[in-house]
Amino acid sequence: MDRELGELAEAFAALGSAERLRIVSYLLARRGPHCGEIARTLGMSSSAFSYHLRTLEDAGLVARRRDGRMHCLALTPVLRELLAPTVRKRLSEEGEQWTESRKSAK
């Protein structure tokens, strides 16, 4: 792993929040959702979601791309470097509960 100690500390600090872990778990379970969808599904206000998203982006864990007027999110390869496969699997399973509850609400 070629990451500097400061970058590692920033990445792990970004993961040190239940709200941000919920965002990461949602992104592991569902590819390419837009910001509004995630905030709404996770029950976060726009300002709270923006704050947590900015923290994840600053740590290099999440990338944003525009799709028309929407901003879609994706995890970066940095997360794969930092977390063991078993941890990623557990987070993905956690995220599936949000995507399943979203499907049943339709």
Domain that holds residue 50: 5-105
User: What is the biggest distance separating any 2 CA atoms in the chain, rounded to whole angstroms?
Assistant: 45
Secondary structure of 11-43 as H, E, C letters: HHHHCCCHHHHHHHHHHHHCCCCEHHHHHHHHC
Instruction: Summarize the chain as % helix, strand, coil (round to 5).
Output: 65, 10, 20
The 10s digit of each residue's pLDDT in 20-49 is: 999 999 999 987 788 888 999 999 999 999
Structural domains of the chain, count: 1
pLDDT band per the 50, 70, 90 thresholds, residue 11: very high
- Judge whether 78 and 60 are in contact, CB under 8 Å: yes
Q: Could you tell me the CATH number of the domain that includes residue 79?
A: 1.10.10.10
pTM, two decimals, is 0.83
